[in-house]
Structure 1
Amino acid sequence: MPPPFRLLFRACLGLVLLLLASSGARATHIVGGELDLQYVAGSQYRISLNLYFDAINGNSGALDTDLTVSIFDKGTNRRMQDVSLPLTSNTFVTYSNVACTVPTLSTRRLVYSRLIDLPANQYFSPAGYYAAVERCCRNNGISNIVNPGDAGQTFYLEFPAVVRNGQPFLNSTPRIFPPLSDYACRGDLFYYNFGGTDSDKDSLIYELVTPLSGHSTPGQPKPGAADPAPYNPIQWQPGLNVLNQIPGNPPLRIDRQSGRLQVLPTQLGLFVFGIKCSEYRKGVKIGEVRRDFQLQVLNCPRNTPPSMSVLMPGKGTPYRAGLDTLRLTPGSGRCITLRFTDPDPSSTLSLSLNPVNYTGVLPSFSITKGLVKTPGAPDTLISQLCFPTCVNTRGKVFLLDVIVADDGCSLPKRDTVRVAFTSMPDPNGNPTITTTAGPGLPLRARPGDLVTFTLTGTDPDNDPVTLEMTGRGFNPTAYGAQLTQTAGGSPARGTFTWRVDCQAVNKPIFEFEFAAAASPCNERQASSLIVPIQIDYSNVAPVLTTTLPPDSAGLPPVIRRRLGEVYEATLEGVDADANPLVFTATGKSFELAAAGITFVPRNGTGRATATFRWEASCEAVRQQGLEVTFQLQETTCLPQPQTRKVRLEVIPPVVPPFLPPNVFTPNNDGLNDFFQLPNLPPDFCDSRLSTIKIFSRWGNEVYRTTDRDFRWNGSGLPAGVYFYLVEYTDRQFKGTVTLAP
C-alpha cells in the first residue's frame, strides 16, 4: 500500500483505539500474563510473574512495585507460603512487524521475581502444589466477557513435589513465548505461535481454557495474598464459550502439539482468551501453566496476497506443484527462477524457505527482498534459487516450501509453492595414500629404537585431505606413537614417529592403520593402508652364584655364630644379554648396619659382584634371628630378578644347671662358711644380672649386692630361714637358704 494510504489507515486505527480507550478510563489495566517457576540449584527455585499491562488505557497508579504469590498443597489446599515478588523489569512488548506499529496500541511486560526455597522435607505431597497471584482489574473495553472492568485475573500454575520415591524430582515449568503484541484484522486469518520450551524436555500439550477471575474486586484490587482454589472464572458473553472465545470462521483455535494460535475473526472488538500448557513426563501429567491475553480485532484495508511462479531450470516452463519433481543431476542446472509480484502498490516482498522433510544445506536466493509497484520499481521481481552441488537425496523426494510474503498489516499475506526435488551430487573420487615404510614389511624394531616414515595423501578432485592414524586393537598414542601432518590440501603429507619403549614388548606385532580422508559435500571418503611393526625382544635370566650355603628343603640356610664371631660370603651375577646388573641386600624388619652387617655391591653391565660380612651381635638375639634377602636385578623390559635368602642366628652360651645351696654354717670351720651362687646363668645380650637380695622371714631386706661372685656370711644375724631374690633384666630366681648356727 502507498505511504499516504498507510498513514490514513494508521490514523483511522488510532481513532478506533482511542474510542475503545475512552470506555476504559477506570483503573483497569491487565492485558494478561502467566507465572513461571524455574529450578536453580539445591532446593532453590526462581518464581516469576509476567504481567502484561495496557500502557495506553491503564492507570499508571495501578502499576505495582510488588505482588504476592501464594503457594498451596493441591491435595488439601493448605497454604504453604506467601512470597512478596518485587518488580524487577518493565519493558515494552515489540510488534511482530514494526512497520505495523500504531501509537495507540502499547503493552508493557512487567516482571516480578524472587528466589524461593522448596525444601524436600516440606514439598513432598503426591498431589503436587499450585501457585496463584490475584489482581484486579481487566480492561473495561473487553468485548467477550461480562463486566470486564470488574473482572480480575488469577495467575496460576501447578508443579509437582520436589521429591518422588525418596529421590529428588527436579522440574521447571514450561515457558510460553512470546507474548502477543499485534492486532487482528476482521476477515483475515490471524496466526501466532504460543509454543513454549521446557528445560526438562517434558512433552507439552496446549488447550484453550476459560480465564480465571478469582476473588479480587475493584474494591480490593490487590489482595494481601491469594485465596486458595477454586477461583471464579470470567463470565462469557451470550453465545461464547471456551471453544468459541473469539468469534470467527473458524473461531479461535490452538494446536495441541505446537501451540500455534489462529483465528479468522468475524467481529470487531477487544477479546480476552486463555490457554493452558500442560507438561507430561513419561506419559504422566506433572504440571501446568496458564496464560491470559487479549487480541484487538480491527477493520483493516484489504490486502491482496502476493503471488509467485517457479520456472524449471533450462526450460523456462512453470513448475506445477504436486505434479512436477525437480531432478538435479550431475552437469545439469541447479537453479530455479522465481517470479513474484503483488497486486497491491508499494509492497515490500520477502522470500523465505521452509524445509518440510529435508534437513540438509538449504539452497540460496540471489535476492531475498524487493519493492514492487512504486515509481521506478518493477511490477515483478525475479530471484534465482540455487541448490548446492553437494545435496544428495539418495533417490528420495524431498519437499521444500518456497514462500513469498508481503509487508501488510497486521500480519503478512503469503503465497507458498511446495517444490518436490531429488538431487545427485557430482561424482567424486576417493583419495589415495602412500608411505615410505615399505617395501619390506613388517618393520622390525627393538625397545629404544626410533621408527619414522612419511605418508602422502592425494585426492583426484583436489579436495582437502586429512591424514589419520588408528591401531588395530590398540591406541597408538597410548604407546607414544605420533602422526604429524606437515602439509594440508592435496597432496597432504605427514610424518610418523615412534620411540619404542618397554610397554611394547607385551604385544609381538602392532598393525598401524593410516587413512587419507576427504569430506566433499560433508560426506567422508577415505582410503587406508596397514603398516605392521614387529617388536623383537628376548631376555635370558641372569645367573647368580654365591658362597652362601644352598637352600635346605626349600628353606633358606641358617648360619650360626657366637657373639663377636664373623661370617663372610661373596656373590656374583652374570647376564648373557649384557644387561646392567645391580646387587641389593635387605633385612626383614631391620637395618643391616644396626645388626653388624655390611654389604658392598660392585654393579656393572653383564657382570656384578658383592661381598657380605656379618659380625654376630645381640641384634640377632633381639630379633630372634635375622633374615637377609639378596637380589640380583637386571635393567631390561621384562626383568627376571634372581634372589637368595639366608637366616643368621647367634649361638647362645652354655648355661650350667642352677643348683643353689639351701644351708650354710658361718662358724669359720672352713666348710660352708658363706652363702654364694657360683652357678648363676652368665650374662647374655639383654639378659644381665641386676641385683641379689636377701630377706628375713619378716620380709626385711638384710643384704643386697650386684656382684655375681658375692659371699654372704650372715653378718651376725640369728640362725633361721632366709629368702633370696636374684633379679636379671629379663627374669628372676627365688629360693630359701638356712643359716645354721
Structure 2
Amino acid sequence: MKKRLRELLLCSLVVSTPYWAFAIHVVGGNFGMKSLPQRGFYQINLTLFFDVEGSAVISNAETTASCSIRSIADGRIVRNFTMTRQRFEPLVYKNAICVQQGKLRTATGYFSQELFLDPAVYNQPQGYLLIFTNCCRNQAISNIQNPVISEGVITLQFPAITQNGAEFRNSSPDFGLPNGDYICINKPFDFNSMATDADGDELRYSMVTPYGKLDINNSFQEVRWAAGLGLSNVIPGPRPPVVNPRTGLMSLTANRPGVYVFTILVEEYRAGKRIGFVRRDFQLPVVDCQRSTLPEPPIYTSTSPNQAVQELELCEGASVTLSTAEKSDYAYQWQRNNANLTGANSTSLLVTQPGDYRVIVSSALVCAGDTNSLIVKVKKAPSPTIQLSPTDTLRLCAAENGELRVTESANYQYKWYKNGEVIVGQEKSTLNVQSAGTYSVQVTTQLRPNCPVSAWDTVQVVTAAIVTFDSLGKVCFSDSGVVPLRVSPAGGVFVGKGVEANSVKVKDVGVGTHTVSYELKDPATGCIGKQTRSLVVLPLPEISLATSQSVAQGENVTLKPQTKDPINEQFLWSPAEGLDDPFSPTPTVSVQQNRTYTLRVTDKNGCANQAAIRLVFSNLILIPDAFSPNGDGVNDRLEIKKNGDFSSLELFIYNRWGELLFYEKDAYQNSWDGTYREKRVQAGIYSYVIQNVEKGVKQAGRLWVLY
C-alpha cells in the first residue's frame, strides 16, 4: 500500500561506516513531539531501538540524525536540522537466558532537539508528518521478506499549528519505554503499548503493517510479509496478536520461534476529529521456554521478614525494601506497574514511590517459563495536607522579624528545623524568624506519627542601602539658627522635630538633646537604610540687667548685671568709652551723656548672649535711698542734689500710714533732718514725693532712716 506524503520531516542517521560492519541495526522506534510554553516552540524527540547482539563496540551506534522538513503541498524543503543523541541505555529484559536464545540484545538511543515551527508557515489544514528512515533491518527478523534490504521508516503526524487564524496547541501521544520482553511458545503473552497524552485527547490503538521504504516519489511502501504471514497473523500461533483499541494491550499465543517485527499505531482524536498519530516499530523474540517449575515467589519487607505482604503504605519521603528468597540458580527482575526496572535484578528492591510491584523469577541456567509473584500494592500513606507560606523565599531586612506559617490543625504535630537542626521548643504552626537559613517544618498526625510530611522555605536577610549621615554635634540656641543635614545617598526622608527640607531650625527644637533620623528605601530590596544622629542645642547665658537707669551728669555708676556662672563666663561691654574696664562683669562708668551700653556674655561652651542698658540723665533731683540722722556728722540730713534747672522743688515725707512728717518748698536747700515735731523718727522705711509744679515734674520713692 502506498501513501502520498503531504508534508514530511525526513531524518537520516549519520554514520561513517557500512551498517553491516558492526551488526548494529535500528530495529524500531517512534517520534514524540512536545509543545513548549513559548508559541511555536516544540521539543522533538526520537527514540530508536538498536540491535546490539554480536557487536563488540556498542558506542558505534549513531550519535546524530540529520533531518529536514518538506512541504506537503509542493514537496519543497522548509528547513534542515540535526538531532543529537542524548542518552544510550540497554533495554531491560526479565530473563537474559531466553533473550540470548532468541539472539536479541537491544539498546535504546534518545535523540532530542528544540525547534521553532513558525505558526505563519505551519498552517496547512492537512497537517504534517515527521519521518525517519534508516537502512537496514536485522537479518534475524522472521516475519518479513529480505529484512536486510528493508528500511525502517518511523512517522508521526501532527496538526497545523495555526487553525482558523488561532493558535492550536498540541503535544503528541507518548509511548514511554517498552519492556524488554520475550514470548514463550504456547504460553499466553501480553505486551503493553499504552501511551499517554498531555492534552487529554482520546487515543485509539491498532496494529498496522510496518513501512519498508520511502520511494523516490515520497510514497510509503509497506514491508512484504513472509510466506503465510500477514497483518492478521504477524506472529504465528493459535491466538494471533490482537490489540485492544482502548488500552493498546497486545495479547497473543505464539507457536513458532523467531524474531517478529510489528507496528502499533496510536491515533489522537479531539472533539471526535483525528488530529494526528504516532507509529511505533518494535520487535519481540519467540523462544522455546522449558516449562517452569519455579514456585510463586513470596515478597517480604524488612519489618515483616517472615510474612508475605500484598499491600503496604509508604510515607512521603520514606522508603521500604521488598525482598524475596535467594536462590543461586534463579534470575530476578523487578517490575513497577508492569514495567521492567533497570538494574533491579537482585532479590531485593528499594522502593521509594507508590505503585504495583512484583518480582519475576526465572531460571538463570536455562530458558524456562518465568514465574511472577503476586503484586504488592504500595500505596501512599495518607498524610497531612500542608502548605507552607510564604511559598517563595522569605526576604527579611536586617533587624526585622518574619513569620513562617504552615497549615494549622488540632490533629497535627509540628517540628521546626533550621539548616537541618531541630529548633527546640518550636511546636506550633507558626515560626518567628530573624536570621537567614533554610527552614523546614515536619508535620505528623496522631494516627500516623511515623509518617511526617515536610515543607521547606528559605529565609534571606537582605542588605539595606548603606547610608552615611554627618554628625550634628552641639550648637548654641538661636532664633535664626539653622543646622544643615548632610547625607549620602540623597533621596531619603528626614524624621525629627524641627526638620524642614534638609535642615533643622534651632528655634523650633529648643534647648536640649534631639534625635534626627534619615531613612532611605532601597528600590531593589525594599529595605530601609537608617541612620540616627543627635543634635544638642545648648542654652545661652542668662543675663539679668535693667534696660535703663537714670543718672546725674558726671556721676560714676557701677553696672551690676546678674549671670549664673560669672566665674566661667567672659564679659565684653561696648562701647568702651566711659568704662573703666570693658571686660569686667561690673565696670564703673563715668556718665557724661545719655548712652546705651551693650553687654555680651560668652559661656564656657562658646555660647553668647547679650543685653543692653541705657543710662539716661534725669531732669529731676537725685535723692539717696537712705540716711542716718544720728548726729555723727555723716549723712545726718537727707541731701537733695538738683539735676537740672528747677526754680523750686517741693519735698513731702510720709510715714507708712500716709501721715505727712515733713514738707519743704525749696528742698535742695536744707532738706530733712529725720525729725518730726522736733523729735527723731523711728528707724524704718518712709515715702517721699518731690515735685516741680511749674514744669509738671513729679518723682516718688522710698528711703531708709537708719541709726
TM above 0.5, yes or no, is no
TM bracket, shorter-chain basis: 0.3 to 0.5
Q: Which has the larger radius of gyration?
A: 2
Q: TM-score, normalised by structure 1?
A: 0.40
